[in-house]
Structure 1
């Protein structure tokens, strides 16, 4: 289901994806960000900059240079507060006098169980949260932002992180890191919540979409098929975890080493967090239980 590894955009260049929408890829490639973060410029006169990206001077210059005569940045929209998406928002705002819109700060939208895990000391393990970020204006599910010739509907889609938004633009959706164009989304507690992630997949699947524009990678031309694949992938991973637990209680790291046999060592930590996300979800559904307090290194066993 994942596309061939042929996404090779010119970094820092505004590429037209369709009338009214351009993409600039930031210079931050990595195993977590693929070729780099996709920054989108929506509009013909009032420009919405969606996911300004990392605080990188070359990327700021690329965004400003992409503005054509008669264009101005009217809105800066942040889909979520990971370090590869939000830090450039306020530097860009200083240059353009546009205001910043988002669901909230780095902890907004966390489910109660993830709040408990964070308070118990579980932190990190993901792409890094921009704890310095706060928006000028908050967006809640169903809010609509409008500029000259465009409208965006905010869809709260927690899962990758609690404050994650997708943005509906007619029958297109800017899906940020909920649905990516190159890999499955990382779900790393306490920022990521698999129960929320699956519910957000169902929410997106309830609509008919023409195309997804993701936060990393190429556009997704068969959106509903990709959503089905994401759900099936998670269900298969859940089945592997439950099968492995038939051999006895195990930690998330134990299970990751058994299940992610082809994962490079550098990504084993991310794989372990993905397994932990499944274990927390399975605990909430009564399928497994931690043998001590619910925490990252707990032993989990099957419920009878």
Structure 2
């Protein structure tokens, strides 16, 4: 973890570098990872928050590598991943690539892409292409990107090191999230390069663990809900997330909501006036 330092340019593979934004926190870990591809024509993936210090650090990193930023790609438009794109484009004229969705209170309205990626399409970057993999779940406009020459899968907030991802309905969807994790198992992966934290080895093992973890939590939701005639999110979050620091329960409650919505779609729970009950 000693290399996870904000502002420190780290080479992960030939023509692939990481630069961490200075926005550490409970939800962001050491900070948002921005990735740079290429040496002359440089593509930036997830430029991060609109922090002038980080924007300048990205410009200086490109200069240090020996090139110019010509493309800016985002995994999704949450405020710790995409807002720096506009400032970076203003200074470089780079093409913006990413997907947008309706504002749900968590989206970056400043992000206006020139190009919207398509699932399984290849995006040309110096040193080899990035394959766009549509990965809804954390949010509906999320894409992961597979760097085909290295087998590095850049997962944004779909997979993070050291913590599970928060799913925030309605833009976030638990069923989509689990399906997206399973879809990635079909690709030739060597490492996961998350939006927060360091490289994760044995990607298939990690993806399978995350699916199992979510399904185990889902089973716990059903088990604890069976102890109530009906329950609100506030009542249910305590027994379902009794293994989580209570200070994080307001955040965990969002993922609990996502689990319940999935179970409702599956016909296993019902909801009336904010109270949830087990049907079968």
Structure 1 residue 303 corresponds to structure 2 residue 276? no
| Cα shift at 1:164 | 0.3
Which residue among 242, 246, 254 is the counterpart of 2:222? 242
> 1:217 is matched with which residue?
197
> 1:166 is matched with which residue?
144
Deviations 1:31-53 (A, max 9, x none): 11011000000112211100000
Distance 1:174 1:23 in 2: 11
Deviations 1:1-48 (A, max 9, x none): xxxxx4652211111111111101100011110110000001122111
> 1:40 is matched with which residue?
35
Distance 1:49 1:243 in 2: 45
1:61-80 alignment, distance < 5 Å: 61-67=56-62, 68=64, 70-80=66-76
Which residue among 126, 138, 159 is the counterpart of 1:148? 126
Residue segments in structure 2 that go unaligned for 5+ positions in a row: none
Residue segments in structure 1 that go unaligned for 5+ positions in a row: 1-5, 109-122, 293-297
SS of corresponding position for 2:253:
helix
| Cα shift at 1:133 | 2.1
> 2:248 is matched with which residue?
267
> 2:20 is matched with which residue?
25
Which residue among 157, 162, 169 is the counterpart of 1:182? 162
Deviations 1:136-159 (A, max 9, x none): 111111221113332111111000
Which residue among 89, 93, 96 is the counterpart of 2:89? 93
CA contact (8 A) 1:144 1:151 kept: yes
| Cα shift at 1:264 | 3.4
1:44-55 alignment, distance < 5 Å: 44-55=39-50
What is the RMSD of the two structures over their aligned residues, measured on CA atoms?
A: 1.6
Segment of structure 1 superposing worse, 237-246 or 203-212 = 203-212
TM-score w.r.t. the length of structure 1 is 0.87
1:98-137 alignment, distance < 5 Å: 98-102=94-98, 104-107=99-102, 124=105, 128-137=106-115
Distance 1:7 1:260 in 2: 31
Distance 1:57 1:242 in 2: 46
TM-score w.r.t. the length of structure 2 is 0.94
Length, aligned pairs only: 276
